[in-house]
Structure 1
Amino acid sequence: MSIAAPTAQAASDAAPRRLDPSKVAYQRPQPVGMVPDIFLNGALSLGEDDPHWVLQAENVWFKPLVLNVTQGFYVNILKVQKAGVLSRHRHFGPVHAFTLKGSWHYLEHDWVAREGDYVFEPPGETHTLVVPDDADGMITLFHVTGGYSYVDPQGEALGYEDVFTKLEAARRHFEAVGLGAGYVDQFVR
């Protein structure tokens, strides 16, 4: 009696399958002490009924994405639904801005940020934020490190904003809209 040799197909079916290592999730633990990531489904939702929009001033709202109290920065989306001067301020740290909708500019510069534009603002810069009359408001993602002082035209301090003032405003807002003051904790790192 003779036994036939297995066909190439039968041999390959019997062999253990090797996984493509590029498609295998990382198998080791994350670093000790690492803070959890943040995932916000619908973060760019611009709906008026979205309870995440925190009123900052008349016709001006911000939506917190990250409030990093340990490194002193915050990331938020600023929504302005009016033309005019918003504020004059001096930055303590760098700022990154990405315009999502509308347009805005600074009186101290000759550029206008429009949808899809990126702006870097260096530490120490003082500028006056304006939404032009011909704009239907603006929506811009800002990553602000440090904070800033509101100033008059001569640079005299009038007030300030930082991650802690943003955190407090968001905490009060979420409590007022029924989400609870602790709702803001998901944004805090």
Structure 2
Amino acid sequence: MPHVQDSKQPTPDNQALAYRGPPLPNVPSDVVVPDIFNLTTTDERLWVPQSPSVWFRPLLLSVSQGYFVNLLRVRKSGILSRHRHAGPVHATVLKGRWHYLEHPWWATEGGYAFEPPGDIHTLEVPEDVEEMVTMFHVTGAYIYVDVDGNPTGVEDVFSKLIKAREHYEKVGLGADFVEQFVR
């Protein structure tokens, strides 16, 4: 019968010791963005204007993998956009609620939604919501489309990076401020 070690006795593998081997090659550094759920004390300069009453706050801009993670803040009701996803999207609602005209479900505060590649939908924020904030993890691009599905614009990690760089320069944080989010 194999010997089973008493889990209360420390072993080299479960002691509070940091890894001491060599780092793996080409591994980028971690990205840590503190206090993202505290939506009331945020420095407004961190929010990048996307359109009137719509801002995003980058958390991770993965140019090497073609995805981005950001907070989207909307302070208006009505139709935000109609778009198609080139890749999967994960959404976690931090404040408010929203839905897609094409689907029966609602994304509500504290909820999670998965949107598959190829899904086309029209995002609406209802009139009784003063502010909506959602964390989106977007792989690939949003392809903005008209009501018939004809492309009208594209948004991806590269357009987010350019917009953030320009904004941070304009508000005095410096264009290179965005580099902390780029991997």
- TM-score over 0.5 (shorter chain): yes
The aligned residue for residue 55 of structure 1 is 49
Cα distance in 2 between the residues matched to 1:165 and 1:81? 22
SS in 1 for 2:18: coil
Identity %: 54
Regions of 4+ moved over 4 Å = 17-20
Cα distance in 1 between the residues matched to 2:21 and 2:98? 46
Q: 1:50 to 1:19 in 2, by over 3 A?
A: farther
CA RMSD, Structure 1 to Structure 2 (Å): 1.7
Cα distance in 2 between the residues matched to 1:167 and 1:51? 15
Cα distance in 2 between the residues matched to 1:108 and 1:92? 18
- CA deviation after TM superposition for structure 1 residue 19, in Å: 7.7
Matched, 1:25 2:28: no
CA deviation string 1:98-147 (max 9, x = no partner): 00110000000011111111000000010001101122221000000000
For residues 134-153 of structure 1, the aligned pairs below 5 Å read 134-153=128-147
Matched, 1:35 2:45: no
**What letter matches 1:25 in structure 2?**
A
Matched, 1:111 2:105: yes
Which 5+ residue runs of structure 2 have no aligned equivalent? 1-9
Q: Give the length in aligned residue pairs.
A: 173
CA deviation string 1:80-110 (max 9, x = no partner): 1111100000010000000011000000001
Cα distance in 1 between the residues matched to 2:45 and 2:63? 23
Aligned pair partner of 1:161 in 149, 155, 177: 155
CA deviation string 1:29-78 (max 9, x = no partner): 22111000011122334246432100111111100000000110000000
Q: 1:148 to 1:19 in 2, by over 3 A?
A: closer
Worse-matched range after superposition: 36-45 or 86-95: 36-45
Normalised by the length of structure 2, the TM-score is 0.89
The aligned residue for residue 76 of structure 2 is 82
Cα distance in 2 between the residues matched to 1:43 and 1:133? 25
Normalised by the length of structure 1, the TM-score is 0.86
